Structure 1
Amino acid sequence: MERIHYHFPAEIDFERNYGYSADLRYLIKAVAGIHGKTGSSEFETPGPDIGAHQNMVRAKREVAVEISEKRMDFLPLTPQNLAAVLPTVQHHGMVDFRFTVKYSYFDKNFNKGVLQNDVFLVRATVDGNLNLQVAAVDGQGRTLPEEIANTIETQLKRFKG
C-alpha cells in the first residue's frame, strides 16, 4: 500500500534526486528518528508579528513528523509506532510525510513564547533512486523547503538501522 496524501500540492517548492540503494522501509525508519528533534542551536528570526515589528528573537526549532494515513489524514511517525507502520509499506513506491516545524523563544522577561509553525508536505519516491519533493503548505517561511530535504539527507547519512 502506498501511503500517499490525496491533497498533495501540484506546485512543488523544492525537488532533489539522490542515489539511493536502500528501500522505502529503511527511509521511513530513518525519518521517524527526526520526530521530536530540535535544531542544534538557536537562530535569530523576526518576532511573532513579522509584518508590524522587526524585533528579532532567538528561537529554537522542534520537528514533528507524520506519515500519510488512508490518503486523507496523517499519523505521527515516531520510533515507538514504527512496528505498526512498517508492515503497511512496500519496499519501493511512494510515501508522503508532513513535517511541522515548531518554534519557541524566550522574551526579555524570560517568558516562553511560540511562533507560527511552518508546515511542509514531503513526497518520497523510491524506485532504485530516492526523489524528494517538498511543498511548503503553511507558515511564515522561517524554515526553507530545501532545509527539510537537507534534514532528511543528514538523517539518512547518520542513521544506523
Structure 2
Amino acid sequence: MCRGLDSLPITCLERAKELRALFGSFLQKSDHNLKKSEKLKLSDVKELLQWKESFDHLLSSQNGLCLFRAFLVSEFSEENIAFYLACEDYRATKASKLAPKAEKIYKEFIDSDAPREVNLDYATKAVTKENMEQPSQSCFDEAQAKIYILMEKDCYPRFLKSSMYLELTRKTRTG
C-alpha cells in the first residue's frame, strides 16, 4: 500500500514545488527581459523538454525523477519507482552487504506480504526468490526490468499527459 506524499523525501517534494515555481515564473518572462543569471536557466527548459524524448531522459534527470515520483505518488503507484531506485542502489552495494540489503528489498517490494508490493508475474517472483539464495548484484535484474517496462509503457505516457507536465510544457511554448 502506498504511503502517499508522506513517503516522498521532503527534499523531493520541495524540489517539485520549486520546479513548478521556477518554470512558471521563468517562462512568463520574455527572452528580452531576462537577466544574465536567468538565461542560465534555459538549460532547465531544455531539460524539461528532453523528458518527453525518452523515459531514460526523465530518469536520468534529478528534477525529472522528482516530478515523476511526485506524479506516481498522486497515482498511488510510487512503489514502482521506489523499487527501481532501490535496485539501482543495490547494484552499487559492496559484496559483504548484499545479503541483508537483498532481504530488505525482497521483503519490502516482492514478498507476497510486502508493504509496497510491486506488480510482478509469478515466474519473475520465482526467479527472484531463487536468486535470493545466493544474492549477487544482479539478483533483481529481471524484476527491475519488468518494473521499468511497466513504468515506461504505462506510467510514463500518463505522466506526459498529466496536468503537472502539460502545464510546464505549455508555458515553454507560450513563454
TM-score w.r.t. length of structure 2: 0.23
Structure with the higher fraction of residues in helix conformation: 2
Structure with the higher fraction of residues in strand conformation: 1
